[in-house]
Chain A
Amino acid sequence: MDAISLSVERGEFLAVLGPSGCGKSTLLQMAAGLLPVTSGTITLNNQTVTAPPPEAVYIFQQYTRSLLPWRNVRDNVAFAIEHRVGRRRAREAADEPLAQVGLRGFGDHYPWQLSGGMQQRVAIARALAAEPALLLMDEPFSAVDALTRLDLHALILDIWSRRNLTAMLVTHDVEEAIYLADRIALLTARPARVAEVIETGLPRPRDPIATREHPRFLELRAALLARLLTRHVA
């Protein structure tokens, strides 16, 4: 990674798009305070990030590994705040985010009893329970099937706009980046640099069919794919 300068405005949805293995996840983990930076700084609300900041929550690609298998769904959501408010109050507070991700009534299930998409919903509910201002998402939709992915896109957009969140999404999926984001930062392969930052300029609310047929969407997709593919060959 080399000389990356990137900023996310409050309330914005930023996608970081790049080829596999270019260091997108590393970048996001540093932004989340999960990895130390070797040089340079990360700032959040004018404060340098050295440890995971309370206003940011990271959503992982590997939902099966980020949930605790010995805890049921409710206790996995309570995970977000139990160390601050105690296990009992955290449990009581879990129902609302669970309802928001469409998992009302699944509190007593264990993760292994749920499909992949539902497990990622649990992880999203857990993130919401922490009432973050900033969502950091590391390819959270790459391990689910295509239809489930569309469902989760709608869910994330809904939550993002209703809660006025700021979102940073790392992905290698061009369509996903265009569909969700306000701006796309295109990274180059190693060493990773910001090649370009593009405003998507697509109207909101986004629609799974209409938005994907929008001329601007098609234009962006062609341009971004072309750039990713040529770089891949070279």
Chain B
Amino acid sequence: MWRERLLVPVPGLLVLAALLAGIEAAVDAGLVRRALLPPPSVIGARLWDLLLSGEVLPPLLQTLGLVFTGFAIGTAIGVALGVAMGWWPAAFRLLEPLVELIRPIPKSALVPALMLFLGIGWTMKVTSVALVVIFPVLLNTLQGVRGVDRVMLDAARTHGWPTRHILLHLVLPAALPFILAGMRISLGLAMVLAVLSEMLSGGGGLGFLILDMQRSFRIRDMYAWLVVLAVVGLALNALFLAAERRALHWQPNARR
């Protein structure tokens, strides 16, 4: 059984390997200019150096810290607003126009404005990440809260649950599948905004390095950092999926 499961990713990995070999051959044959795209083996060697020297760690931790902090803050705000708007009609009527106004703006377009108010430091970067995280989480939470089964709510009421207890122990867990779906969308967006704000503010981190290397014609380094970024995204997503499966263990279709 586990052997079969181990074989599942093999075809996909073969395609990847073939692509890398193809690029390598194309560059070697002079079909692609080395200055634009060094052969994967060279990029790999540079990546290896970055890993061995530990050079990879500070920017990696900086970007991860930014993503996690912004993600946590944005999720907390999104869940809180989503629950409030889903539970109290007055809160919905009060906040819905504002949310609908800000939601469609690409949050990347707000980064320059944020820089005016918050400078180009940590605060601005965390704010821009949190801002993009809020909305998918908010909308999904809202939907989840509204979808909580009437019968379940009545069961809590007939047993005399106070509102606070209902929200914490019934509405939130019932809406959790929706909240997590929103968080998964937001995680990807958080990466985008983290990289972008690092590029624009120039204070280090993976996003900054990728742009900086390109501007100083260190193309090998640029690609090496790009690979680091890709692996970070992959790892974060896998981590999130594992956490999601754990949180939703009670759902019959979440067990595999």
A-B pairs, top 9 by smallest CB distance, nearest first, are: A58-B158, A65-B151, A70-B250, A66-B155, A83-B165, A65-B149, A52-B158, A66-B151, A80-B159
Q: How far is the CB of A63 from chain B (nearest CB, A)?
A: 9
Q: Are A34 and B157 in contact (CB under 8 A)?
A: yes
Query: B137-174: contact bitstring with A at CB < 8 Å (1 yes, 0 no)?
Result: 00000000000010110111111111001000110011
Q: Which residue of B has the minimal Cβ distance to A62? A: B151
Answer yes or no: B216 CB below 8 A from chain A CBs.
Answer: no
Q: What is the bound-complex CA distance between A52 and B161, given in angstroms?
A: 10
B interface residue numbers (CB < 8 A to A)? 149, 151-152, 154-162, 165, 169-170, 173-174, 176, 250-252
Give min CB distance, B104 to chain A, whole Å: 34
Interface size (A, Cβ < 8 Å)? 29
- List chain A positions with a Cβ less than 8 A from chain B: 29, 32-34, 52, 54, 56-58, 60, 62, 65-71, 79-84, 110, 112, 126, 130, 136
Contact pick for B154, options A60, A68, A110, CB 8 Å: A60
Contacts beyond the supplied A52-B159, A110-B250: 8 A-B pairs with Cβ under 8 Å: A52-B160, A65-B151, A66-B154, A66-B155, A68-B170, A68-B174, A71-B250, A80-B159
A54: B residues at CB distance < 8 A: 160
In-complex Cβ contact of B152 among A66, A81, A84 (8 A): A66
- The minimal Cβ–Cβ distance linking A126 to chain B, given in whole angstroms, is 8
- The minimal Cβ–Cβ distance linking A72 to chain B, given in whole angstroms, is 9
Q: Which residue of A lies closest to B162 (CB)?
A: A83
Residues of A within 8 A of B159 (CB): 52, 57, 79-81, 83, 126, 130
Chain B positions within 8 Å of A60 at CB level: 151, 154-155
A83 — which chain B residues lie within 8 A by C-beta? 159-162, 165
Contacts of A71 in B (CB 8 A): 250
CB pair A65–B158 under 8 Å, yes or no, is no
Task: Tell me the complex Cα distance, A66–B154, Å.
Answer: 8
Q: Which residues of B contact A80 (CB under 8 A)?
A: 159
Whole-angstrom CA separation of A66 from B157 in the bound complex: 11
A interface majority secondary structure: loop
Q: List 28 A-B contacts (CB under 8 A).
A: A32-B158, A33-B158, A34-B157, A34-B158, A52-B157, A52-B158, A52-B159, A54-B160, A56-B158, A58-B154, A60-B151, A60-B155, A65-B152, A66-B152, A66-B154, A67-B155, A69-B250, A69-B251, A70-B173, A70-B174, A71-B250, A79-B159, A82-B169, A84-B160, A112-B250, A112-B252, A126-B159, A130-B159
Select the residue from B152, B158, B170, B176 with max chain A CB neighbours within 10 A.
B158
The chain B residue sitting closest to A66, CB to CB, is: B155
Q: Which residues of B contact A32 (CB under 8 A)?
A: 158
Task: Please give, as numbers and ranges, the residues of chain B lying within 8 Å of A67 by CB-CB distance.
Answer: 155
- Bound together, the chains give a CA A81 to CA B66 distance in angstroms of 42
Contacts of A58 in B (CB 8 A): 154-155, 158
Q: Roughly how many angstroms separate A66 CA and B158 CA in the complex, as a whole number?
A: 11
CB distance from A1 to the nearest CB of B (A): 19
State in angstroms the CA–CA spacing of A41 and B37 once bound together. Answer: 81
**For residue B156, which residues in chain A have a CB less than 8 angstroms away from its CB?**
79
- Per the bound structure, the CA–CA distance linking A13 and B249 in Å amounts to 41
Q: Which residues of A contact B155 (CB under 8 A)?
A: 58, 60, 66-67, 79
**Contacting pair B250 A57 (CB below 8 A):** no
In the complex, what residues of B have CB within 8 A of residue A112's CB? 250, 252
Q: Which residues of A have CB within 8 Å of B169?
A: 82
> For residue A84, which residues in chain B have a CB less than 8 angstroms away from its CB?
160
The minimal Cβ–Cβ distance linking B160 to chain A, given in whole angstroms, is 5
Q: Which residues of A contact B176 (CB under 8 A)?
A: 70
Could you tell me the distance in whole angstroms from the C-beta of B88 to the nearest C-beta in chain A? 18
Chain A residues with CB below 8 A from B250, complex form:
69-71, 110, 112
- How near does chain B come to A60, taking the closest CB pair, in angstroms? 5
Q: How far is the CB of B223 from chain A (nearest CB, A)?
A: 45
Least CB distance from A130 to B in Å reads: 6
B158: which A residues are within 8 A, CB to CB?
Answer: 32-34, 52, 56-58, 136
A41–B152 CA distance with the chains assembled, in angstroms: 26
Question: Which interface residue of B154, B157, B159, B170 has the most chain A CB atoms within 10 A?
Answer: B159
Chain A residues positioned under 8 Å from B170 (CB to CB): 68
